Amino acid sequence: MLIFLTFLNSLILIILSLLHIYWAFGGLWGKDLAVPTNRSGQKLFMPSVLSTLIVAVGLLIFALCNLSIQFSAVLPLNPLFLKYGILVIGLIFLLRAIGDFNYVGLMKKYKTSDFARQDRLFYTPLCLTLFAAHLLIFIGF
């Protein structure tokens, strides 16, 4: 099961990383639904190319950490550091799932925007799944 979870996490994280790279270089598919909006439909922030690439690199590093559980040559890290790194990655996704108590996550107040609907149907469940998978890897590692 550990092998399956690490590969599944890696695949999801690589896909998300590639999506962020696509957006950073001008891609439009899904971009309108990736940033929360206020009640009037205005985006709360406009991600810069640099910040989008930073997120992409972070997601790729998370994927490499997952692969390193199975293949130590991917990132030759101390196993203890890797184990707790996996836990930290999971906690990051848990925090994202909980949200900001206004526009993002399980605790959001504003639930009627297109982003909020996507967040409820896809983004938050994905973050909870990634948290659970990372927690299981942490426990089984």
What pTM was estimated for this model as a whole?
A: 0.92
Q: What is the pLDDT of residues 112-122, one digit of tens each?
A: 999 999 999 99
Structure confidence at residue 138 (pLDDT):
96
pLDDT band at 88 (very low <50, low <70, confident <90, very high): very high
Q: What is the pLDDT of residues 28-81, one digit of tens each?
A: 999 989 999 988 889 999 999 999 999 999 999 999 999 999 887 778 888 899
48 C-beta neighbours (distance < 10 Å), count: 10
Domain parsing of the chain, residue ranges: 2-140
Which DSSP state fits 32? G
Rg (CA), the chain: 16
Place of tokens 């996507």: 118
